[in-house]
Amino acid sequence: MTADHGHEAGRRPGPPADAGTKRRFELLRQMLRIRRFEEKCVELYSAAKIRGFLHVYIGEEAVAAGIVPSLEPGDAIVSTYREHGHALARGVPLEALMAEMYGRITGVSRGRGGSMHLFDADTRFYGGSAIVAGGLPLAAGLALADRMRGHRQVTACFFGDGAVAEGEFHECLNLAALWRLPVLFCCENNLYAMGTALARAQAQTDLALRAASYGMAAWPVDGMDVLAVEDAARQALGMVRDGGVPCFLELRTYRFRAHSMYDSDRYRDKAEIEAWKERDPITALVSRGRADGELTDEGLAALEEEIAVEIERAVEAAEAAPMEPVADLTRFVYSERT
């Protein structure tokens, strides 16, 4: 984090040369970009400019920001339908993501996927899936393919606590351990599978313990502390990449908003939500930066301004972009070979 970023037009606020300060500043940038992007999506959805389903990541930003940048460019990512944060942290262009929210042809999935089905081959981002636990078999397959080719790539698989109740979870963890597949399993435990509390659906609520029963290293992490997440990710990735074995992280986090924009969120106590908001990962890192003298109000304002401009330009580009022609409706659906 930094004491003076400058406000010249087009100049990106940046941290000083100190490695630790620079690292924390970039973590803050990642989380703020995710938070502000999703807040804008909520606003646009409420204005009926974004349609379909929308599941936002607000409150869980520390998980994506702490894990995804620790991956190497050749690594693969498999996500869920709550995937905007993972995509942004991976480097998928924000403008292409916003266009996808609008269903425009310039979107990352040509407007065909929308919020729940982002895909970007250039960054090996294998997108989200509407099927709970549906990404786990894909992750196992990608990891197996990389290993058979002799590559050192890791596949990071993100899923929620609800996926732990599905058969695919147990099948894939068993195969990953048995075949020594290079998968980093990232369970984003936000305590609710849609509207069902973890304790009402799972007899064993220590999800890391359940993963450890398959013979892999597994441990819980404070998913509201981006520095703790980053440290755990680096340790786990070292085990997967160098040790050739899968690893499991249970990221204990919380979503501040409802499961989706259609959800009335009547299953959670408002006091519980407010208590978790006191642990906001962005606020925590900002407070630390100020206390350590690494971040000033001017520096934070410059970063917020940079992100706001980027998002507004993405909205303008999305609104100006065309929809896919009706004539292309069956393109990519049926083979074009004759």
Q: What is the pLDDT of residue 6?
A: 35
- Answer yes or no: is pLDDT of 127 > 90: no
CATH number, domain containing residue 217: 3.40.50.970
Q: Is residue 326 one of the residues assigned to a domain?
A: no
Average pLDDT over residues 18-38: 95
Helix (H) or strand (E) holding 188: strand 183-189
What is the number of structural domains in the chain? Answer: 1
SS3 for 18?
Answer: coil
Q: Is residue 129 one of the residues assigned to a domain?
A: yes
Residue 281 neighbours by CB distance under 10 Å: 28
Tell me, what amino acid is at 300? Answer: L
Q: Is residue 156 one of the residues assigned to a domain?
A: yes
Q: 131-171, pLDDT tens digit by residue?
A: 999 999 999 999 999 999 999 999 999 999 999 999 999 99
Q: Is residue 335 one of the residues assigned to a domain?
A: no
SS3 for 66?
Answer: helix
Q: Is residue 330 one of the residues assigned to a domain?
A: no
Tell me, what amino acid is at 233? Answer: A
CA angle, 289 then 295 then 296, to 5°: 135
Q: Is residue 204 one of the residues assigned to a domain?
A: yes
Q: 84-96, pLDDT tens digit by residue?
A: 999 999 999 999 9
Q: Could you tell me the pTM of the whole model?
A: 0.92
Q: Which domain holds residue 187?
A: 19-320
SS3 for 133?
Answer: coil
Q: 313-331, pLDDT tens digit by residue?
A: 999 999 999 999 998 888 8
Q: Is residue 230 one of the residues assigned to a domain?
A: yes
Q: Is residue 272 one of the residues assigned to a domain?
A: yes
- Answer yes or no: is pLDDT of 338 > 80: no
